[in-house]
Amino acid sequence: MAAAAVGTRSPVIPVPRTAADDGPGAGPDVEPGPPTGSAAGYQRVLHQLARREFRVLAELAGWAPAAEAPRTAVITRHADLVGRVLLHHHAVEREAVWPALLRAVPADAVAEASPAVEDAIVRCARIDRMLRDVMTAGRQWAVAGTVAARDRFAGACLDLADAVDAQTADEERRLLPLVAAHLGADDWAEIARSSRCRLSGREQMLVLGLALEDACAADRARLLSGAPRATRVAWRTSGARTYRAAVVRLRGAPPAA
């Protein structure tokens, strides 16, 4: 995910290397996931993050005091961060991932890939509009401090979570097998080099933590090994601790793992 060197302009897409537990020497306690390369692994991890976080936000907002400004700010800032990451993800898919995939698939697979790509673009555009609605509802809640405004924000998060669930499930069924089969490491490295998203150092650590939280062992290894050394050091020395504190402040409980 946000495996990147700490700075104000940084890659959101990492270039993960193959994890050791993906290969023939994987230990007996590691349950193998679906066969994926770097690109498909990244897509799956980000989908997982978005599905979890918007559903959690809907639940947290539903229980939050309507007029408690500090609590409102914690929830709506988190929604804004996850929303910006997902908007960027959709832009990278639209502008780089899907064109690269359509160039890479063999001629006999274009008839399958092209309609699936067109459908994904349309559905993600709808989700992008819903993301902006969530951000708007968050700002209105912060200003109004009313139960009605809070409930509109919670409902918008829940509707968004449902839409993300459906769209990502379809994408993982129809497109990720093609991505895994036809987008090579060089293709993905080029996409990563050309894809930039503005995140502060603190935001990078938070997004990396969100990506790592319930990722499988293989994806965790890919994310961390694909990150610049400075990011790995920052995560070990302060990032993991900062992430845990942020999650406790948001959810009232530490991360799952």
The pLDDT, as a whole number, for residue 164 is 98
Lookup result for tokens 């050394």: 229
Tokens 């503005």 correspond to: 198
With a cut of 60, say whether residue 45 has pLDDT above it. Answer: yes
- For residue 112, pLDDT over 60 is answered with yes
CATH 1.20.120.520 describes domain 37-198: yes
pLDDT at residue 245 above 60? yes
CA distance 183 to 38: 9
pLDDT at position 21, please? 35
Does pLDDT of 169 surpass 50? yes
| Res. 37 pLDDT band, cuts 50 70 90 | low
- Per-residue pLDDT averaged across 50-66, rounded? 97
Cβ-contact 137, 149 below 8 angstroms? yes
Confidence band for 5, pLDDT divided at 50, 70 and 90? very low
> So what's the pLDDT on residue 173?
95
Mean pLDDT of the chain: 85
Q: Give the residue-averaged pLDDT of 56-85.
A: 97
Q: What is the DSSP string of the chain?
A: -----SSSSB-SS--PPPPGGGSTT--TTPPP-----HHHHHHHHHHHHHHHHHHHHHHHHHHS-TT-HHHHHHHHHHHHHHHHHHHHHHHHIIIIIHHHHHHHS-GGGHHHHHHHHHHHHHHHHHHHHHHHHHHHHHHHHHHH--HHHHHHHHHHHHHHHHHHHHHHHHHHHHTHHHHHHH--HHHHHHHHHH--B---HHHHHHHHHHHHHT--HHHHHHHHHHS-HHHHHHIIIIIHHHHHHHHHHHHSS----
* pLDDT the model gives residue 190: 86
166 contact partners, CB below 8 Å, separation of at least 6? 123
Distance CA 50, CA 164 (A): 7
> For the ranges 7-11, 131-135, 144-148, which has the lowest average pLDDT?
7-11
What's the N-to-C CA distance of the chain in angstroms? 17
User: Is residue 60's pLDDT more than 50?
Assistant: yes
Q: What is the pLDDT of residue 7?
A: 31
Q: What is the pLDDT of residue 6?
A: 28
Q: Please give the Cα distance from 154 to 161 (Å, whole number).
A: 11
Please give the average per-residue pLDDT across 170-174, as a whole number.
Answer: 96
Q: Please determine, for residue 98, whether its predicted confidence score (pLDDT) is greater than 80.
A: yes
Averaged pLDDT, 11-40: 39
Nearest to 209 by CA among 179, 249, 156, 175: 249
Lowest mean pLDDT among 24-33, 112-121, 240-249: 24-33
Using a pLDDT cut of 70, give the percent of the chain over it: 85
Residue 38 has pLDDT above 80, yes or no: no
| Domain locations in the chain as residue ranges | 37-198, 201-257
Whole-number pLDDT of residue 195: 79
Kindly tell me if the per-residue pLDDT of 186 is higher than 80.
yes
pLDDT in tens, 187-241: 888 888 877 778 888 999 999 999 999 888 888 888 888 788 888 999 999 999 9
